[in-house]
Amino acid sequence: MRKKKKDPRFIPYAAGIAAGYAALLLISGIAALIVLITDITALAGAAAIFAIAAGSFIDGRLVGKIKRKAGLKTGALCGAAFIVPIILLSIIFGKAGSFMLFVKIILSVIFGAAGGVAGVNAKET
């Protein structure tokens, strides 16, 4: 009798989170370069929020494309998993009481869920 091949459950989530952090780092790097060149420091906060939202969306979209089911739930879970290291870093560096942290958490979950739905509904290539 053959053994049933187990489906790795966490591989799609790990791939999505890695892609989301790659997007986050790319957008943060571009924003840092723009702040360096233009010396507009007010742009840094908006760029951080945009980077988290875009990273969560890409995170959820990739997981939705890989799993092809329950896009809203998997995307929201991925968005929540995406923001956990950022919360831990905020606690370590003393910014955990900030109102913007809660905004980033909510945006991460919402954009992750939207990305999951977009990934499930995307055409297969």
Q: What is the mean pLDDT of residues 46-70?
A: 91
CA distance to 3, 28, 33, 83, 104, per residue, from 52 (Å): 42, 9, 17, 8, 7
6, part of any domain: no
9, part of any domain: no
User: Given pLDDT bands bounded at 50, 70 and 90, which one contains residue 3?
Assistant: low
Our count of domains for the chain comes to 1
70, part of any domain: yes
User: How big is the chain, counted in residues?
Assistant: 125
User: Given pLDDT bands bounded at 50, 70 and 90, which one contains residue 2?
Assistant: low
> pTM of the prediction?
0.85
> Which pLDDT belongs to residue 91?
83
Please, what is the average pLDDT of the chain? 87
Q: What is the mean pLDDT of residues 34-47?
A: 85
Dump pLDDT digits (tens) for 65-95: 988 888 889 999 999 999 999 888 888 887 6
97, part of any domain: yes
Lookup: tokens for 5: 């091949």
> Which pLDDT belongs to residue 46?
87
Residue 81 belongs to what domain range? 15-121
AA identity, residue 39:
D
- Taking Cα atoms as reference points, which of 59, 35, 62, 70 lies closest to residue 107? 59
Lookup: tokens for 45: 């906060």
- Taking Cα atoms as reference points, which of 22, 23, 21, 20 lies closest to residue 64? 20
